[in-house]
Structure 1
């Protein structure tokens, strides 16, 4: 989910996400359900980058694609799964890179598979994510190997 949407959803509840240096706070937290607080925490790094003006739409496209690929690996039903399955069946190297990305997230501390990988991203995962995204876009736009 785009950090912009998360912020808007929080504001609709009468609260607000506030950036204080490199930390994130919820103003009027009593207006927000605990589950939503936990959700915000799982996207904390991306939200902070967004509030600092460092989170571009292109970066979001990459991360959203990676989130869909992770959901695919986790067996979460989503409309995109047949397309990802077709892609991986035709591009074994892309599937291998995606598996390597999951390992990097694990090495960075991602253990709760029901939560976002947002807080476990690094320069290395960002670079690999971009490579995977570019391969996916090329494949889905018809440049199939």
Structure 2
């Protein structure tokens, strides 16, 4: 989910997200359920980058693509799965890179497989994510031509 959407939804609930240096706070946390607080916490690094103006739309497109690939590997039903399946069947190297990315997230501490990988990203995962994204875009644009 885009950090902008998370921020606007929280503000709509009367609990805007406040950035204080590198710390993120929920104003009026009594207005939100603990599950929503946990959700915000799971995207904390991305939200902080967004609030600092360091999170671009291109970066979001890369991370959103990776989120869809992770959902594919997790067996979560999504409209995109047949396309991802077709891509991996034709680009084995991309599938290997995606599997390597999951290992890197695991090595960075991602254990709750039902939560976002947002807080477990680093330079290495960002670089590999970009490589995977570029392969995906190249494949899907080539299919349309």
Unaligned runs of 5+ in 2: none
What secondary structure, in the 3-state scheme, does the structure 1 residue paired with 2:114 have?
Answer: coil
Unaligned runs of 5+ in 1: none
Match of 1:119 in 2: 119
Q: CA deviation at 1:142?
A: 1.4
Match of 2:81 in 1: 81
Match of 2:16 in 1: 16
Match of 1:37 in 2: 37
Per-residue CA deviations over 1:14-73 (Å, capped at 9, x if unaligned) read 111001110100000011111110000000000000000000000000000000000000
Give the structure-2-normalised TM-score: 0.97
Match of 2:138 in 1: 138
Matches within 5 A, 1:55-94: 55-94=55-94
What secondary structure, in the 3-state scheme, does the structure 1 residue paired with 2:25 have?
Answer: strand
CA distance in 2, matches of 1:11, 1:32: 11
What stretches of structure 1 move > 2 A for 4+ residues in a row?
A: none
CA distance in 2, matches of 1:56, 1:87: 26
CA distance in 1, matches of 2:57, 2:99: 25
CA distance in 1, matches of 2:46, 2:118: 6
What secondary structure, in the 3-state scheme, does the structure 1 residue paired with 2:111 have?
Answer: coil
Q: CA RMSD in A?
A: 1.0
Q: CA deviation at 1:94?
A: 0.3
May I ask how many residue pairs the two structures share in their alignment? 144
Match of 1:25 in 2: 25
